Chain A
Amino acid sequence: MLSQRPSLFRERFMKTVERADEALMTAIARKDGAALEELYDRYAPSALGLALKVLSERPAAEEVVQEAFWRVWKFAATFDSRRGRFPAWLFGMVRNLAIDELRRRSAHPLSGDGVGLDDAALEIPDGAADVMETVWTSIKSVHVREAVEQLPDLQREVIMLAYFQGLTREEIAKRLGEPAGTIHTRARLALQKLRTIIDPQQVMG
């Protein structure tokens, strides 16, 4: 019983945040600039972390984040909360823009950068506009990184190359010198295992 309490609490918290996201998106669709600013304060650190992990270069990563939030501004009316949560929508956009930029540069780093986990300390600002979300972002980040660390190396490598380096199945198979079938299996096992390690109620809301 006791162990369920924090989850319940966190679930309620996440539901509150989700509702807040939806309300902000409705306001942004009506061209409320302050609502965009609030959503930016809430998600920009995670978005920049993601773009930087893909691009390994801060100016380019910041451009990607700006473009993603600009698209939130322009296309808020197309967001449909029934089809998915706002963070998944935003991060999907950030990741795609970053991978596109990476491909444009034709500069896939071959050193394995982005395969391992970031060692950098959490860079959480003091006095951020949405302090509560900042705290939970850091908790989520630590939790997910710990979960990714627990994956077997071979499985982790496949999903990190696919997600953060934007490599195709064929490219991953070629790089790792493994048959495509092995790559498929590792990706599926990795994602299934990640889901079981991460309590979705705790982390994803």
Chain B
Amino acid sequence: MTLETHVEELIPFYALGALDAREAERVEKHLPTCAQCRAILDEVRGGAEALPYAATPIHPSAQLKQRLMGRVQADLGSIQAAKPTPVRLRGGWFNWLLVPSRAIAIAAMILLIVSIAWAASLNGQVEQLRSQVNEQRAALALLSQSGAVTKELQATAIQPRARGQLIADPRSDRALLVVSGLKPLPAGRVYQAWLIKGKTPIGVGTFIVDANGSGQILINAPEAIGAYQLAALTEEPAGGSPLPTTEILMASPL
């Protein structure tokens, strides 16, 4: 039957991955020579590629990820082991460190240095926050609402170190977006916050970030925050855009 079947008829099954190796090879040899069959493949491929999404997404168990990453770590270990190691801690410093009391003393010292650095950085953050009294008041007001929740915005690959939090009571139309780790923008460019309802993005304000990449904006939405499905951030020309003109930098479902 296969040999009598026209290649054209095989193409939907080729797109579905439902041909045996011999049939698939027949199609692959034929495609470069036949524009008509390539056109059929173009017609059916989109539908076939969508089919995986016809299955209900299921969240895997945490153990599955652990097993996978365990294999990956073991693989990385074997890659490392296969490489020549130029420096080895055989004697000297390494042995000196192995004395427990010294190791504890060094660990304590490291902990102290880290603590001081952390306190200093916290201090810096406090100073920064103090300079934004109005927003903080709004944030406090929002946070003190009984139904206030915080949503973490996830960065995309464009600015992977960016972070954002949206604080809002879903029943209220006010929200505070606090961001950090964003690149300071040149003159004439701003960051714009969006709330997406159904399929429609609604611009809800623009702002810039300071030299540290931190910034925040108090959002007054047209409707209660709970009416929106997604919060997102893009970079736009000063004054903002009616619709996003660049890729999303961070987003969170609401």
Contacts and interface: CB of A to CB of B under 8 A. Distances in A.
A135 interface: yes
Interface residues of B, number: 64
Contact of A195 (B46, B73, B243, B247): B46
Nearest to A53: B55
A33 B45 CA distance: 32
A124 B57 contact: yes
A33 B76 contact: yes
Contact of B54 (A74, A141, A195): A141
Interface in B1-20: 1, 5, 9-13, 15-20
Interface in A1-41: 5-6, 8-10, 12-13, 15-17, 19-20, 23-24, 31, 33, 36-37, 40
B214 to A, nearest CB: 21
A49 B69 CA distance: 20
A152 interface: no
A66 B66 CA distance: 10
A134 B47 contact: no
B208 interface: no
Interface in B129-183: 152, 154, 156-158
B30 interface: no
B253 A134 contact: yes
Interface in A49-102: 49-50, 52-53, 62, 65-66, 69-70, 73-74, 85, 87-88, 91-92, 94-96
A145 B50 CA distance: 10
Task: Report the contact-size class of chain A (Cβ under 8 Å from the partner).
Answer: 35 or more
Interface string B53-86: 1111111110011011101110110010000000
Interface string B78-119: 010000000000000000000000000000000000000000
Contacts of A175: none
Contacts of B201: 5-6, 9
B53 A184 contact: no
A37 B68 CA distance: 9
Contact of B51 (A17, A52, A163): A163
Interface of A: 5-6, 8-10, 12-13, 15-17, 19-20, 23-24, 31, 33, 36-37, 40, 44-46, 48-50, 52-53, 62, 65-66, 69-70, 73-74, 85, 87-88, 91-92, 94-96, 117-118, 120-125, 128, 130-132, 134-135, 137-138, 140-141, 143-145, 147-148, 159, 162-164, 166-170, 180-181, 184, 187-188, 190-195, 198, 200, 203-204
10 contacts: A6-B201, A10-B199, A13-B247, A52-B55, A118-B56, A130-B154, A131-B152, A140-B53, A141-B55, A194-B51
Interface of B: 1, 5, 9-13, 15-20, 40, 43-61, 64-65, 67-69, 71-73, 75-76, 79, 152, 154, 156-158, 196, 198-201, 229-230, 243-244, 246-248, 251-253
